[in-house]
Amino acid sequence: MTKVQEAINDQINAELSSSYSYLAMSAFCEAQNFRGCAKWLRIQSQEEYAHAMKLYDFLLARNGAVTLNAIQKPAGKYRSLTEVFEASLAQEQSVSKQIDALYELAFKEKAFAAMVELQWFLTEQVEEEKSARDIVARLHLVKSDPAALLDLDRELGARSVESAK
Ligand code: FEO
Shortest-distance atom of ligand 1 to CA 14:
1
> How far from 153 is each of 27, 35, 39, 87, 160, CA to CA, in Å?
15, 7, 9, 17, 14
Which atom from ligand 1 is nearest to the alpha carbon of 52?
1
Distance 159 CA to ligand 1 centre (A): 17
pLDDT along the chain (165 residues), means of 10: 94 98 98 97 98 98 96 92 97 98 98 97 97 98 94 96 62
Whole-number Å distance, alpha carbon 7 to ligand 1 midpoint, is 16
Res 144: pLDDT: 85
Q: Give, in words, the CATH class of 3-70+78-157.
A: mainly alpha
Question: For residue 23, how far is its CA from the centre of ligand 1 (angstroms)?
Answer: 13
pLDDT at 1: 67
**Cα separation values, 62 from 72, 106, 112, Å:** 27, 14, 12
pTM: 0.94
pLDDT number for residue 126: 97
Q: Give the Cα separation of 40 and 17 in Å (integer).
A: 17
Q: Measured from the CA of 51, which atom of ligand 1 is nearest? A: 1
Q: Which residues of 103-130 are buried (b: 16+ CB within 10 A; e: fewer)?
A: bebbeeeebeebbebbeebeebbeebbe
Question: What local confidence, expressed as pLDDT, does residue 44 receive?
Answer: 98
Q: Whose CA is nearest to atom 1 of ligand 1?
A: 48
Contacts with 66 (C-beta within 8 Å, 6 or more apart), sequence order:
9, 12, 56, 59, 60
Please say whether the beta carbons of 107 and 5 come within 8 A: no
Check residue 161 and give its pLDDT: 81
For the chain, the structural domain boundaries read: 3-70+78-157
CB distance 111 to 53 below 8 Å:
no
C-alpha of residue 148 to centroid of ligand 1, in Å: 28
* Cα 147 to averaged position of ligand 1 atoms, centre (Å): 30
Q: What is each CA distance from 44 to 26, 80, 81, 105, 149, in whole angstroms?
A: 9, 19, 16, 27, 20
Residues having CB closer than 6 A to ligand 1 are 15, 18, 48, 51, 92, 95, 128
Q: What is the pLDDT of residue 163?
A: 58
